[in-house]
Amino acid sequence: MAMWGKVEQSILWVVTYTPLVLIMIFRFITSNEFFGLDQQIRMIFNKDSVFLSNLALEIYFILIALVFTVALYIATIKYYLSGYEKNIKPGKEGNDYFIRKIEKLSANDYSFFLLTLLLPLISLDHSSAINLAVSIMVVIYVIIIYVKTDAISVCPLFFFSGRRVYKGIISTGTKAQELSNPSFRKEVVIVIKRENISLNRTVRGAQLVGNVYYLTDTQQNS
């Protein structure tokens, strides 16, 4: 099973930030009075109604955006993770690992993502085309940083796949082998589907990208 390259990472991050860009574009449109779209909608329905007010239209957009975001996130991450439980098995893909340590990622690990998500929304007035362009350029720059640094572990799409993301230590050797050769152990980010993977037996895994590994309990899959 091939590792994720820069293209796959770029697509995942573009999908992640797509709702943010849509919101910024929507704010730009609404700040400029819909470019007359609000009047056109009222003309089509031939009436003034509270259900066609600017506030109502904004609420409709938010609801549609939420549904679109969840559907897009689920479809994208499931596509890229599809087949991992099926293919990472003895005799097929992957290698055997021991999990020596596992812990949840802290809020600090996601702080840069949250910062880049919130700042464009609260720091700039998107009624200006220049400000909108600057905001989109910042998002593109952030995506480039994520892709260049292989920082896919903090991508929120994993949470829409039923998987969990942890920091941990894995090993390809026994504890006796590790004493003579510490290189058997690796500090990695672990993506798993089940939270009850045992630390007392080997699990099957494959490298997704950089230090990010996808692990699965083959005994539960059999």
| Residue 15 clears pLDDT 90, i.e. is over it | yes
d(CA 36, CA 41): 9
* Pairing status of strand 185-192 against strand 95-104: unpaired
CB contact set of 176 (below 8 Å; sequence gap of 6+): none
SS3 of 116, please? helix
The pLDDT score that the predictor gives to residue 221 is: 46
Average pLDDT, the chain: 82
The ranges assigned to domains in the chain are: 6-221
Position 188 pLDDT exceeds 90: yes
Backbone angles phi, psi at 189, to 5 degrees: -105, 130
Within 8 A by CB and 6+ apart from 38, the residues are 52, 54, 57
Question: Residue 222 above 50 pLDDT?
Answer: no
pLDDT tens digits for range 96-128: 999 998 888 887 888 888 888 777 766 667 678
Query: pTM for the full model?
Result: 0.80
Tokens of 195: 């939270």
Cα separation, 74 vs 149, whole angstroms: 24
Assign 219 a pLDDT band (cuts: 50, 70, 90).
low
Segment among 15-24, 36-45, 70-79, 199-208 with least mean pLDDT: 36-45
